[in-house]
């Protein structure tokens, strides 16, 4: 008899698990509480879906428990980027690799990734129950039962808004194996509302506080309003309690409340966790990293050649005008002050500030703006196939687990890896 596998959550990991379980002979049902599966996949890579990365994965993943990193890499070695590309090729999707190793669908359309997963589910006979929320789980000696809240629209309501009525189906569904694939709390607009964490807890798991990761950072400084919209190539270093802890380089973006851009996202999970632990976080940005990064090419003599220019105009030759204006103000120079009036020493102070623009980070932006969560169910509470060590016949995959990757396709890779491994194991284990 084929195992009856229920996959709770029709996101990236859930769809991969469903396909994998069905390919291994299971009778699979996906429960998705939104009106369609895979909403978040459509948002990925700015609608292009950076679905994996061919670079070496070492150093690209985090876990709150650093001892779990070996488990993460062991799993990814079993189902890596090459296997992911083969998997999608077998579903009829060609992929292409970019210079940084990032892999995208050949058409650069995220929707095709979802299309091929849905069509594989159709072909393999996977039942997809949308508008169905997994509300409770009752494990027993031979699997268990789940109760489902079916959402129905009443009174012509659209998009789940006004007029929505919820009905609890009195029918429960039996499973031999249950896979929790309900995502974290990041981007709840796509359906991940944190309910998976609560269910995992009720089933005996611990939870490492989920926090926003791959997210903008809010900073102190009234000058951010003036900087809003500035994009600058630069390097960012994260200081935790004054100690350099992480860094990255690329396009830094200024917002009216703080900092954004890929380099900020890359360090954000470390800042998020440190702030949660009550530690002091600062960012030091170098806006002259495109040159030699030190500003040393500017000597007192070379600066004097620009005596007639305002300091602001002089700095605007190196960086965005708004940044030049803010740096002048921070250094106590009026906007009409010339290089000659300020003197070479004070101008060099401004240049120094451009190489070490230091701000205090106050908080990560909210889950609504985050791409992923850090934290979740500890990896030591699941085995190498992501089967729960706390509750029989249960598997936990994807972002629900305490694993998060940097930008570049690594988070979806984690979803495919955990889904593929757990799906097959759930189908085949007795």
Binding site for ligand FAD (CB under 6 A): 8-14, 31-34, 39-40, 43-45, 49-50, 133-134, 181-183, 186-187, 190-193, 195-196, 371-372, 398-399, 409-412, 415
Q: Which is nearer to ligand FAD, 45 or 143 (CB)?
A: 45
Which candidate, 2, 6, 32, places its Cα nearest to that of 17? 6
Q: Which is nearer to ligand FAD, 10 or 139 (CB)?
A: 10
Which candidate, 290, 256, 288, 253, places its Cα nearest to that of 268? 253
Q: Which is nearer to ligand FAD, 185 or 235 (CB)?
A: 185
Cβ 328 vs Cβ 312: under 8 Å: yes
Rounded to 5 degrees, φ, ψ at 170 are -85, 0
Distance of CA 100 to CAs 54, 97, 290, Å? 8, 8, 19
How far apart CA 263 and CA 250 sit, in angstroms, is 6
Q: Output the smallest distance, CB 249 to ligand FAD, in A.
A: 20
Q: Which is nearer to ligand FAD, 388 or 411 (CB)?
A: 411
3-state secondary structure of 160: coil
Burial track 228-241 (b if 16+ CB lie within 10 A, e otherwise): eebebbbbbbbbbe
Cβ 47 vs Cβ 21: under 8 Å: no
Token reading at 37: 């599966």
Q: Which is nearer to ligand FAD, 223 or 410 (CB)?
A: 410
Q: Which is nearer to ligand FAD, 258 or 408 (CB)?
A: 408
Q: Output the smallest distance, CB 401 to ligand FAD, in A.
A: 8
Q: Output the smallest distance, CB 372 to ligand FAD, in A.
A: 5
Cβ 91 vs Cβ 117: under 8 Å: yes
Contacting residues for 332 by C-beta, under 8 A, at least 6 apart? none
Q: Output the smallest distance, CB 409 to ligand FAD, in A.
A: 4
Distance of CA 236 to CAs 213, 233, 416, Å? 17, 10, 31
Q: Output the smallest distance, CB 141 to ligand FAD, in A.
A: 25
Instruction: Write down how long the chain is.
Output: 430
Q: Output the smallest distance, CB 182 to ligand FAD, in A.
A: 4
Q: Output the smallest distance, CB 428 to ligand FAD, in A.
A: 21
Q: Counting beta carbons within 10 angstroms of the beta carbon of residue 390, is it exposed (0 to 12), middle (13 to 18) or buried (19 or more)?
A: middle
How far apart CA 414 and CA 53 sit, in angstroms, is 11
Q: Which is nearer to ligand FAD, 187 or 424 (CB)?
A: 187
Q: Which is nearer to ligand FAD, 137 or 315 (CB)?
A: 137
Q: Output the smallest distance, CB 235 to ligand FAD, in A.
A: 23
Cβ 37 vs Cβ 128: under 8 Å: yes
H-type helices in 129-261, by residue range?
Answer: 195-202, 224-227
Q: Which is nearer to ligand FAD, 216 or 286 (CB)?
A: 216
Q: Which is nearer to ligand FAD, 45 or 423 (CB)?
A: 45
In this structure, the number of other CB atoms found within 10 A of the CB of residue 82 comes to 11
Token reading at 418: 């955990």
Q: Which is nearer to ligand FAD, 93 or 239 (CB)?
A: 93
Q: Output the smallest distance, CB 55 to ligand FAD, in A.
A: 13
Q: Output the smallest distance, CB 192 to ligand FAD, in A.
A: 4
For residue 295, the 8-state DSSP code is -
Q: Output the smallest distance, CB 203 to ligand FAD, in A.
A: 13
Token reading at 250: 């690329």
How far apart CA 125 and CA 60 sit, in angstroms, is 36
């Amino acid at each position: 008899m084929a195992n009856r596998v229920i996959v709770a959550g029709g996101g990236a990991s859930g769809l991969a698990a469903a396909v994998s379980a069905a390919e291994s002979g299971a009778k699979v049902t996906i429960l998705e509480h939104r009106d369609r599966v895979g909403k978040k996949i459509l948002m990925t890579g700015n609608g292009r879906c950076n679905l994996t990365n061919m670079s070496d994965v070492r150093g690209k993943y985090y876990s709150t428990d650093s001892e779990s990193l070996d488990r993460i890499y062991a799993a990814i070695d079993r189902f890596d980027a090459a296997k992911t590309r083969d998997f999608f090729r077998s579903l009829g999707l060609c992929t292409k690799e970019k210079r940084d190793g990032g892999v995208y669908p050949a058409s650069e359309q995220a929707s095709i990734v979802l299309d091929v997963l849905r069509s594989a589910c159709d072909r393999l006979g996977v039942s997809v129950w949308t508008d169905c929320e997994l509300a409770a789980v009752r494990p027993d000696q031979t699997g268990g039962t789940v109760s489902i809240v079916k959402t129905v629209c009443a009174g012509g309501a659209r998009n789940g808004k006004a007029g929505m009525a919820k009905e609890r189906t009195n029918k429960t569904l039996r499973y031999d194996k249950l896979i929790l694939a309900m995502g974290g709390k990041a981007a709840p607009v796509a359906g991940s509302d944190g309910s998976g964490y609560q269910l995992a807890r009720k089933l005996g798991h611990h939870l490492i506080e989920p926090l926003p990761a791959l997210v903008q950072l809010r900073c102190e400084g009234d000058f951010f309003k003036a900087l809003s919209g500035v994009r600058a190539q630069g390097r960012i270093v994260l200081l935790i309690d004054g100690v350099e802890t992480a860094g990255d380089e690329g396009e830094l973006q200024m917002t009216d409340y703080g900092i954004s851009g890929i380099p900020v996202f890359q360090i954000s999970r470390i800042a998020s966790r440190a702030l949660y632990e009550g530690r002091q976080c600062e960012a030091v940005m170098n806006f002259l990293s495109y040159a030699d990064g030190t500003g040393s090419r500017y000597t007192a003599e070379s600066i004097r050649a620009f005596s007639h220019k305002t300091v602001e105009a002089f700095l605007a030759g190196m960086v965005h005008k708004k940044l030049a204006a803010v740096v002048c103000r921070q250094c106590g120079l009026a906007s009409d002050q010339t290089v000659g009036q300020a003197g070479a020493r004070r101008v060099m102070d401004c240049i120094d500030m451009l190489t070490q623009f230091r701000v205090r980070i106050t908080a990560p932006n909210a889950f609504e703006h985050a791409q992923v969560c850090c934290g979740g169910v500890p990896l030591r509470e699941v085995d190498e196939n992501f089967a729960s060590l706390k509750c029989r016949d249960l598997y936990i995959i994807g972002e629900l687990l305490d694993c998060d990757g940097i930008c570049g396709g690594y988070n979806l890779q984690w979803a495919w890896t955990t889904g593929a491994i757990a799906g097959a194991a759930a189908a085949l284990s007795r």
